[in-house]
């Protein structure tokens, strides 16, 4: 299964040359920052299975991979936010809904940055605040 890239840019007409950086990932969903924080995208993990299809008489092989949402996915299984706090709240909510438990140390989180800051937030049951501080630190804003 091919995972999503940690950082990529796209010059396609539908997304106009943005830079996307994976800030958080769990086994349920992803949080990407766009253009160093101009906005944030949170989306559920969706996978394309390996397979074949015929298009215009040509056989096409489809690789197994995680999908990044296209425009029509937003509002359905992907959401866009202008501030990090709301994006983190959605990330936390999706994990708690799909895992049936609160996001904490019991849930495998694949953080793309160091997790040695603001330990007291985690201890005080403020996971959203803890994640926000981690993301801000990764972005060089703390």
Selection from 97, 98, 90 nearest residue 128 by Cα: 90
The domain ranges of the chain are: 7-138
The region of weakest confidence among 11-15, 24-28, 64-68, 102-106 is: 102-106
The token pair at 131 is 């994640």
Return the beta strands (E) in the chain as ranges.
7-9, 19-25, 29-34, 39-44, 47-48, 51-55, 58-62, 65-66, 78-81
Question: What predicted TM-score, i.e. pTM, was given to this entire model?
Answer: 0.67
| HEC sequence for 20-36 | EEEEEEECCEEEEEECC
CA distances to 46, 62, 70, 96 from 8, in Å: 18, 21, 15, 28
Q: Which residue has the higher pLDDT, 87 or 17?
A: 87
- pLDDT tens, residue by residue, 82-131: 999 999 999 988 988 876 544 444 444 444 433 333 444 444 455 556 56
């Amino acid at each position: 299964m091919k995972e999503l890239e940690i950082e990529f840019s796209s010059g396609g007409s539908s997304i106009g040359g943005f830079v996307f950086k994976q800030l958080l990932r769990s086994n349920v969903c992803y949080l990407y920052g766009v253009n160093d924080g101009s906005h944030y995208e949170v989306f559920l993990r969706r996978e394309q299975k390996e397979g074949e299809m015929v298009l215009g008489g040509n056989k096409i092989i489809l690789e197994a991979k995680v999908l990044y949402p296209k425009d029509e996915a937003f509002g359905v299984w992907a959401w866009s936010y202008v501030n990090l706090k709301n994006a983190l709240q959605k990330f936390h909510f999706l994990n708690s809904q799909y895992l049936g438990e609160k996001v904490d140390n019991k849930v495998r989180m694949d953080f793309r940055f160091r997790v040695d800051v603001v330990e007291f937030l985690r201890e005080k049951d403020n996971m959203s605040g803890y994640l926000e501080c981690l993301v801000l630190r990764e972005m060089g804003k703390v």
